[in-house]
Every structure is written in structure tokens, then in C-alpha cells.
Amino acid sequence: MIKKFKFIIKKYFENWLPPILLRYLYRCAEELKFSSYSHKEILAKNKTLKGAGKGKRAFLLATGPSLKKENLKSLAGEDCFSVSNFFLHEDINLIKPKFHFFASYHEPIIFENYAQWLAKADRELPPDTKIFLGHKALDIAREFKLFPNREVHYLYMVSHPSRNNVDITRGVQSPQTGPLMVLPVLLYMEYKKIYLLGCDHTQLRDYKKSVTNFYEKEKDVRVIKPGTSIWIDIIQEMQANLNVFLQYDFYKKIAEDSGMIEIINLSSDSWLDIFGFGNIKEVFSEKPG
């Protein structure tokens, strides 16, 4: 029913309705879909995180190649939140992230391999690190009995979030890339300063070249379907990158509107200039808070 509603909006109204009204209709569709979601109890657990970082600083750790230039040992004892293959970092057991985030399954990754990837992370992450998954991964986690000894939280992902703030007990923006899954949680936790590391986002500069991260390619256990490519055509690639930066801008405005939260990019080789840049060495010469 909801899919049919969205189809009708797209087919008959998208090209002539004012954008503000179009967004309203899509958000209504998302609200209707959420109202019928049968696992709201997994989202209610997120209430315990509200304001948990107030007055403190947090470090969001992605996987960009700029991390190879940084000594991250100073992150020991800090509130760190990692994503994707960051668990491959040599200092993972020193850094001890509070939460580790995995984006939802998507092609061209092989489905069964996605579960194997999460199981590998479970073996290598520090024992006290908690997990965040997208709500669509709930069935996968149960089917493959993933993270049996960890606390697991879920985010309900939507294409059109209904509010210009962040409530992780309801729908949040479906992230175009991994770090955008972490930001709403850190905003909900009300950290005073959020530092970004490894958020390089230089894909367009590297288009059709080998994808690089801080780790060696052979350490990534994810496998894509034979005959497919991680690259899409240039128009789709540019649109995807535009969505990345627009989503970051969405969270920047929420942080600014709060009047209490600052997001700073410490990634040393990054196209993400929406936020002010900082230097990791200078950060660790400051007192936390």
C-alpha cells in the first residue's frame, strides 16, 4: 500500500508539485509506513542514549586513506565511534570504540558474504564495543545469529525523514555512506564537539580507479557478485556524491540550530569542506570537553 502511494506521488505529482509540498507527501508516506512497523521495541532501546554525550567530545572514525597518515593511539580513552572496516585498524583494541556501525546490506556485495563480514567483525572488535545496524538487518542478525554477546541497537532508515531534527527512536535519513549513519546518533547523544577522521570522500577524484582505504585491499573480506563493478556510470556516481554532501549539510544545519554542537573535520585529505577543518595534533593538545 505504501509503495503504491509513493509510486503515485512519483508518477503523477513529482514534476509539478512545489518541492515543499512534495516533501510533505513523501514524509506522510514514511510516517504511514513507520506506523505499521512491527519491531518498534528495538528502536525504543535507543532512548537510553539521549544526552549521553552532553558536554563531551566524540570521534567518528571512517576508513579513508588519510588515516594512514595519522597516529591514532591518542584516541585511547576517548569516546570513539567507528564504521565499516575500521575494525581492521591495528589500534582497534587500544581505541575501543563505544559503538561500531554497519551500513545495511546492498548489492553488488554477495548476501551470505555480508553476514560473514559481520561475523568477522564480531571476532575482531573489542569485547565491550556495541553495535548499530540498520533496521533491515534485524532478520539477517537473527538468521545468522550475529553478535550473540554484544548489545545491538538499530536505526530505522527512511528516504524522507519527517523532522528537521534527530530522533533515533523513529526514522532517520537513510545514509548514502557509512559515516552518515553515525552522525544522527552522535547528535542525539548531544556531544559538544564531533570530530571526523577518515571522512575523505574523494571518490570523484578517484573515479574508475582502484578504491583505496587505510587498509590493504586484500584484508577486506567482502565479495561482490561476479561480473559486476563497484563503479556506476558517471551521472549516477555524481548524483550519489551530491547526495553524500547534501546529507552532511542536513546534519550540519541540525548541529548549528542546536547552538551547542560543533562538527569538525580532522581528515587530512578530504573533499568534505562543509565543516571547518582541524588538526588532530592540536585537538590532543586541548583539554577534552
Helix H or strand E encompassing 195: strand 193-197
β-pairing, 276-277 with 57-61?
Answer: unpaired
> 179-204: buried (b, 16+ CB within 10 Å) or exposed (e) per residue?
bbbbbbbbbbbbbebbbbbbbbbbbe
Residue 170 CA to residue 157 CA, distance in Å, equals 9
Global pTM reads: 0.89
Residue type, 121: A
Task: Note the helical H segments in the chain.
Answer: 2-8, 19-35, 40-44, 92-95, 111-124, 138-143, 179-188, 234-258, 280-283
CATH number of this structure's domain 45-283, picked from the four choices 3.20.20, 3.40.50, 1.10.3470, 3.90.1480: 3.90.1480
Q: Report yes or no: 230 and 107 within 8 Å, Cβ to Cβ.
A: no
pLDDT score of 164: 72
Residue ranges, the chain, pLDDT below 70: 1-26, 106-107, 162-163, 227, 229, 286-289
Any idea how long the chain is? 289
Domains of the chain by residue range: 1-36, 45-283
Using an 8 Å Cβ cutoff, are 97 and 130 in contact? no
CB atoms within 10 A of CB 243: 16
The pLDDT of residue 36: 84
Per-residue confidence (pLDDT) for residue 282, from 0 to 100: 92
What pLDDT is stored for residue 13 in this prediction? 57
pLDDT at 71: 93
